[in-house]
Structure 1
Amino acid sequence: MIEKARFAIADYVVFGLMLAISAGIGIFHAITGGRQKSTQEFLMANRSMNFLPVALSVLASFFSASTLLGTPAEIYQFGTMYWISVFSAVMAPITGAFLFGPMFFRLKVLSVFEYLEMRFKSRSIRLFGAFLFVLRAVIGMGIVLYGPSTALSAVTDFPVWAIIIMVGVVCTFYTAIGGMKAVIWTDVFQTVIMLAGMLAVLIQACIKVGGISEVWRICEEGGRISFFDFNTDPHIRHTFWTLIVGIYFVWLPPYTVDQQMVQRFSSTKSLKHAKWALLCNVPGMFILITLCSVTGLTLYAYYTECDPLKDKKISNPNQLLPFFVLDILGHLPGLPGLFVASLFSGALSSVSSMLNSLAAVTWEDFLKIRYSHISDSKATAITKVLALCYGCVGVGLAFLVAQLGGTVLQASLTLNGAIGAPLVGIFILGAFFTSTNWIGTLVGGVCGLAFALWLSVGAYLTTPLDFKLPTSTDGCNVTANISVTMATMMSTMATNMTTTTLSPSDPARLHGLEKLYGLSYLWFSALGILTTVFVGLFVSYATGATDPKDVDDNLQLKLFQRFFSCLCFPPSLDEKEIQMEKVKKDLEKETSFTTWSISVSLEPGIHGSYSVCRVIISHVGSNLREKHIIAPDADLLALV
């Protein structure tokens, strides 16, 4: 029987204040400044934000309630292996800050998928990328809203449907009226609440157990402490390799090509602020993942003698942390409310950023094609209505997500892997390889999506391996002990009647397609990206590679052009000759004098790029006029 607890009046006050302040921030930005009357202000905050609030906004958006609930449950059930993922996860914002982010910032795109049309000269690939983002975001909203709602309803008298609707309405309200500035500043407020709530729980829990050293001792005796499993079998749920290599590819989509990140990155006042916004996520990610992991250890240490899951006090792992909080903090008025506020702060921050980005993508990539003639004020009104509509969709999907099993952390990471992977793949094809065409990229993206979804759905339907570590009910009541003892006897009898003695976590149990479905879920993202890239390269080569002279330098990541030259199907001209031809072509377009002769010479510049130019322009039958230009290629025409 699931035990229910009741909030004190102080808890209701704390939780209600969090919702009221979030809504108030939205109202403030709706009535001040430009009052959200332009798409630049509503969707991009007029590109005026400093790096710190943007950094906290990005962190809050990607560390939702799924992380706050799922990571402690993960550590409780499977041990500390997941903790080392922090060292790989922090590489994702660094990749975004120094590779993809600066390219998008200089292009001044509102929707990141504008890049795909510029690079491949095809609207089809742009729409495909936008569709993938919309699919991923709307399902993600369902996961984010459902997680804390079901957790809270299981240990209080709040019904799931009421919580989902209440939080969904508040979030949609302040996003629709306050725009990007409201989203960013509510994220800042909600990040503070998340940290305060988790710290309060962790400190009080350590006091209850007897200190962090006692927590560590109990977890070590219980077999929870394990960091360096170097097993190379890809079927093992968490090993050193899956958590260092696999998790990097899982975090790559949100921090490199995700619309939510690009919108915030581009809303800053300068590229320097934009880079710092992502780099500040490195210590932020480290702190949050570590905080949640240590909380998971305290969960196990506190319930080492009586597992509330086996004792039927809660029904699923997502309810572990809320049950724990009400168990140890229920006598302290206001603290359970602070914790619940921290959970829903994570949900609000994630959903609000999704709503704003969904509105931007739907307008820029789908509707603007047909309604580009309308005024900017009407376009802003449309984006606000879109945010409202997507809010309703997110609430509806939260009820569907209720049918999923497993922790919300795994569901969230699996979603990123299955749908986010082909998104990263198609941007890699565009930015790293000059010879890929739109046909190859589209086919690669479809194949990457199909393969990743096939793996994810197959793994969910079969669940062939079980890596949960054992827990005890020795300290529970007598009835529970008898029940567990009976269940253990029945399980032993069933095992003795079968012909196999293999462990539920032994990969040798897998046969046929189960070997594919039994791969660790953290490999799905990497496999989806690799499938997209290799299929895209092959099909591009088979259907006629793009002439690198037709690809603008601003649409390429120079750092990787040489590294991947063997896969790029390089043309006969070298980089120097290609850039010379581009400069000549651009200069010829700018002059109407067909009798002028233009010659260009390039010399090696900074970082090995050819940006120091000598341009000679002469008229037929006259003396030479020579100009020496020292400038990036993009500034040549203005100087000439």
Structure 2
Amino acid sequence: MANKTFHPADYAVFAAMLVISAGIGVFHAVSGGKQSTNREFLMANRQMMSLPVALSVLASFFSASTLLGTPAEIYQYGTQYWMSVFGAMLAPLTGALLFGPMFFNLKIVSVFEYLEMRFHSKSVRLFGATLFLLRATLGIGIVLYGPSTALSAVTNFPVWAIIVMVGGICTFYTTLGGMRAVIWTDVFQTIVMVAGMIAVLIQGSIQIGGLSEVWKIAYENDRIEFFNFDPDPEVRHSFWSLVVGIYFVWLPPYTVDQQMVQRFSSAKSLKDAKFALLCNLPGMFVIITLCSLVGVVLYANYATCDPLKNNDIENVNQLLPYFVMEIFTDLPGLPGLFVACIFSGALSSVSSMLNSLAAVTWEDFLKLRLGMVDETTAARITKALAVVFGCLGVGMAFVVEQMGGTVLQASLTFNGAIGAPLVGVFILGACFTRANWIGALAGGIIGFIFPIWLGIGKYVRQPQNVKLPTNIMGCSAENRTSTPFLNTTLSTVSTISSVTAVNEARSFNGSISISNELTGLDRLYGLSYLWFSAIGILTVVVIGLVVSWLTGNPEEDKVADNLQLHFWRRLYDVFLSRCSGNTDDDEDTPGMEEENELRDDYARVDDVTTSL
């Protein structure tokens, strides 16, 4: 087996990426407002152009978890996951046309300020802020761990050292350069991410004989499947879970997430902010498609010799780095580009979360306690908070190291379960004037506990863990007895179980069915992880409305117009008017007026979209 280690040129390419990222932070630390106020440090003085904001949002939500996890997902389960692109693209559209403009016009720094303004309750505001702190801190651990295993697989550095190094560099430039540094490093890192994945796709296809041959191999081995319309919610991936379920998974980051709101509000105008989010539609399509194609290329290259079964690697998250070192053996510098691509995904996500964590902690906790302090002192405190959260995130990466499973599933499950109650609470406030703070808090707590319970139960019990079959018939004798590719010991248990351990049957269309039916709680844990977010959001809204109705809402008519989604309110009013029978054609009824206004709203949305 060839010696799969970094060439000096690879180290140079990877180091250049880190130096440029750090340099951008230093540049913005000494230029402009020098990050001396929180308006500059957290909001880039609200002067950012739409394109850098668009690329920053895209890079923040497409981390190393996506770049490593999506190809691994396609390799193990087939191409069905690619259908998620259509559900995912609806999320930025919702943010651009509904939630984003409301937050932009409020001129708030922390999105959770809205909850206090709407429900007149600090408890609801602090509940939402606490959930975000938990989600983002653990999220840093997830996105740091993935690329660290990638780099450890091609260098002599242990995982812990890489986690500390990357976490430290990211904390450094985020603290120095603030939001401007975060956005512009995201722009640079997005370019690196796309370039790295394109290089892998091209070279991997050449190894097999072109994309047509890649597709042929995958098709002949039942890897190609797009339209599985099975309505069973226990099916891991179906058309419904990947279009409807994934929409609710992506809804939190693109509508009410602090990271998105900060970037949206940092734009020069509402028009620029909307355009930035709308640009994420084609961006999401390109990245998810690119990663999915790389997964098909992975399978085509290893169709007869699975490196996981052959013990060449110990964890599915190292599959793509292993492949890269094989195909780029004679091309020094390209493995370094790939690893820089993976780390760019991690750095962009971590820097974004650090800045947002600092903003929420200051605005929603410390500022309420400390009262008014001068701008310089406030900025120094916020920068110190970014350092603290950087250290906490590094610590969480070591916790994530102990988990099994692909980083993609861990990321989607975790973000969906914790993001769901946040979306639910904001929907209660923006769409239902009858919702009060008691209902919002009760719904939020139950909507948080229920999906988390489902996620933990699914992880512990693993009622369904069926992967498509692979083999090692094509592995040479040398490969079968070779030393594992990894040169560092990982405590993570391999997620590839023997195919014979699962009682599975393959039907004529290539789908997998489980012959032993799930019983008891396993029926609940057996739900596809993609439904957890939708379940959480629905739980919050239903419980919140019921509790609000039981406890009453004497201030129902006092909800300010700027705290509501006007489009939803007008649609709701038209529905009530129709239900009450106010549809007499001979009279200019309130229902007809509302319907006309709704039609005007549709026209305005069309005008905005056309102009953008």
Paired with 2:499 and 2:535, the residues of 1 have a C-alpha distance of 38
Q: State whether residues 150 and 339 of structure 2, in contact with CA within 8 Å, keep that contact through their aligned partners in structure 1.
A: no
Q: What residue is the counterpart of 2:155 in the other structure?
A: 156
What do the CA deviations read for 1:255-294 (whole angstroms, capped 9, x no partner)?
Answer: 0000000000000000000000000000000000000000
**Matching residue of 2:533:** 525
CA displacement 1:448-498 (0-9 Å, x = unmatched): 000010000000000011221001101113377799xxxxxx989989xxx
> Aligned partners of 1:114, 1:524: CA distance in 2, in Å?
27
Deviations 1:103-162 (A, max 9, x none): 000000100000000000000000000001000000000000000101221343221011
What's the counterpart of residue 289 of structure 2? 290
Q: Secondary structure at the match of 2:153?
A: helix
**Match for residue 544 of structure 1 among 549, 552, 557:** 552
**Could you tell me which of 533, 551, 566 is aligned with 1:558?**
566
Distance 2:454 2:354 in 1: 28
Q: 2:249·2:412 contact (CA, 8 Å) conserved in 1?
A: yes
Change in CA separation of 1:75 and 1:562 when aligned onto 2, cut-off 3 Å: same
TM-score by length of 1: 0.86
| One-letter code aligned to 1:340 | V
| 1:440 and 2:448 correspond | no
Q: CA RMSD in A?
A: 2.7
Alignment of 1:265-304 (within 5 A): 265-304=264-303
Q: CA deviation at 1:404?
A: 1.0
Is residue 2:383 matched to residue 1:389? no
Secondary structure at the aligned position of 1:156 is classed as: coil
Contact 1:172 1:352 in 2 (8 A): yes
1:221/1:610 CA distance change after superposition, 3 Å: closer
2:563 alignment partner AA: L
In structure 2, give the amino acid aligned to 1:200. A
Deviations 1:200-235 (A, max 9, x none): 111111111100000000000111000011111100
- Kindly tell me: are residues 208 and 610 of structure 1, through their superposed partners in 2, closer, same or farther at Cα, counting changes over 3 Å? closer
Q: Which residue number corresponds to residue 104 of structure 1?
A: 103
Cα distance in 1 for residues equivalent to 2:549 and 2:516: 40
**2:512 pairs with 1:513:** no
Q: 2:479, 2:41 → 1: CA distance?
A: 56
Displacement, 1:3? 9.0
Alignment of 1:18-97 (within 5 A): 18-97=17-96
Partner Cα distance (1:30, 1:303) in 2: 47
1:50-97 per-position Cα deviation (integer Å, ceiling 9, x unaligned): 000000000000000000000000000000000011011000000000
Where does residue 305 of structure 1 map in the other structure? Answer: 304
Identical amino acids, percent of aligned pairs: 65
Aligned to 2:176: 177
Partner of 1:118: 117
The whole-number CA distance in structure 2 between the counterparts of 1:312 and 1:341 is 26
What is the aligned residue count?
Answer: 573
Contact 2:504 2:515 in 1 (8 A): no
Q: CA deviation at 1:251?
A: 0.3
Call closer, same or farther: CA 1:3–1:319 in 2, change over 3 Å: farther
Look up the SS of the partner of 1:60 in the other structure.
helix
* Aligned partners of 1:437 and 1:546 also within 8 Å: no
Residue 135 of structure 1 is matched in structure 2 by 134
Where does 1:183-332 land on structure 2 (aligned, <5 Å)?
183-332=182-331
Q: SS where residue 26 of structure 1 aligns?
A: helix
Contact 1:29–1:35 (CA<8 Å) still a contact in 2?
yes
Q: What amino acid maps onto 1:608 in structure 2? A: E
* Greater Rg by CA: 1
Q: Larger RCO: Structure 1 or Structure 2 (Cα < 8 Å, ≥ 6 residues apart)?
A: 2
In 2, Cα distance between the equivalents of 1:610 and 1:413? 37
- Report what 1:15 is aligned to: 14
* Equivalent-residue separation in structure 2 for 1:88 and 1:3 (angstroms): 42
- In 2, Cα distance between equivalents of 1:438 and 1:568: 24
Tell me if the contact between 2:421 and 2:447 (Cα under 8 Å) persists in the aligned partners: yes
Distance 1:268 1:492 in 2: 51
Q: Is the 8 A contact 1:425 1:532 kept in 2?
A: yes
1:348 aligns with 2:347: yes
- Classify the secondary structure of the residue corresponding to 1:509: coil
Give the Cα–Cα distance (whole angstroms) in 1 for the partners of residues 2 and 522 of structure 2.
Answer: 37
The match for 2:417 is 418
Distance in 1 (CA, whole Å) between partners of 2:529 and 2:515 is: 14
Query: For structure 1, which segment, 373-382 or 546-555, has the greater mean C-alpha deviation from structure 2 after superposition?
Result: 546-555
Q: Which string of whole-angstrom CA distances, capped at 9 and with x for unpartnered residues, describes residues 175-202 of structure 1?
A: 0010000000000000000011111111
Q: Whole-Å Cα distance in 2 between the matches of residues 116 and 19 of structure 1?
A: 38
With over 3 angstroms needed to count, the CA separation of the structure-2 counterparts of 1:38 and 1:195, relative to structure 1, is same
SS of equivalent to 2:413: helix
In 2, Cα distance between the equivalents of 1:185 and 1:147? 23
Q: Secondary structure at the match of 1:404?
A: coil
* Inter-partner Cα distance in structure 1 for 2:2 and 2:171: 32
Q: In structure 2, the residue corresponding to 1:309 is in which secondary structure?
A: coil
Do the aligned partners of 1:186 and 1:349 also contact (CA within 8 Å) in 2?
yes
Per-residue deviation at 1:385? 0.1
Q: Which moved more, 1:146-155 or 1:401-410?
A: 146-155
Task: Report the TM-score when normalising by structure 2.
Answer: 0.89
Assess if the C-alpha contact under 8 Å between 2:91 and 2:247 holds in 1: yes
Unaligned runs of 5+ in 1: 484-489, 575-600, 612-640
Aligned-partner residue type, residue 88 of structure 2:
A
Q: Which amino acid aligns with 2:518?
A: L
Counterpart amino acid of 1:151?
Answer: A
Partner of 1:486: none
One-letter amino acid matched to 2:537: I
Question: 1-side partners of 2:442 and 2:422: how far apart?
Answer: 12
* Corresponding residue of 2:493: none
- 1:349 deviates by 0.2
Does the Cα contact within 8 Å between 1:3 and 1:155 map onto a contact in 2? Answer: no
- Residue 578 of structure 1 is matched in structure 2 by none
**Which residue of the partner structure matches residue 471 of structure 1?**
470
Check conservation: 2:467, 2:499, Cα contact below 8 A.
no
